[in-house]
Amino acid sequence: MNKGDIKWEDISLFQDIPAAAMDRVKAIFEIRTLEPGVNLITEGEEGDEMFILIEGRVRISKSMLIEGMNLPILEVDNPRKVLATLDESEFPLFGEIALMDRDTRSATVQVLAQSSFLVTNRLRFYDLLEHEPAIGVKIFKKLASRMASTIRKNNSELVKLSTALALALSRYKAAP
């Protein structure tokens, strides 16, 4: 696959970018193809790249334990929660937080079928922001909106989990 084969206008991150400016956007991305079983992103590792899935299928998972924690009641050392299995149909993106800061990855993205990704890194992204601020702001706004949506979803999940824990504890205390 090459950049000319990609339907850039179908990728939500770029839908507000004028066609005349897309060459500058395309220049900050490269294509990376990975085989099944490879981790594109590994939870806990540092990274500075963002990926857009343009072909293939991936699984996103997260460790259910804090690093270094061991619960002997569990049958596996590192239980994982599958958060999603995604294909290229909506051009999902991963690692966008790494463009903003230097913290560690918050989840693992594993390739399930041969997959191709558009890849950029913090340096190229900030170069675009500096030299093409009108374009950069449009992309930045899309990324910020996506991150805000994720935060709202996570907050809702935390409330549900806290409620479930409180109910479980109250039933435990009430048991004879």
Q: At what angle do helices 133-174 and 122-131 cross, to 10 degrees?
A: 130
| Vertex 65: Cα angle to 69 and 115 (nearest 5) | 130
In the chain, where the domains are located? 3-174
Return the pLDDT at 169. 77
CB-based contacts of 169: which residues, under 8 Å, 6+ apart?
Answer: none
Return the pLDDT at 74. 56
Rg (CA), the chain: 19
* AA letter at 144: A
Return the pLDDT at 4. 80
Return the pLDDT at 101. 86
Q: Report the CATH superfamily, name and number, of domain 3-174.
A: Jelly Rolls (2.60.120.10)
Q: What is the mean pLDDT of each run of 10 residues along the chain (176 residues)?
A: 87 93 96 98 94 98 74 63 93 91 91 98 95 93 88 81 79 74
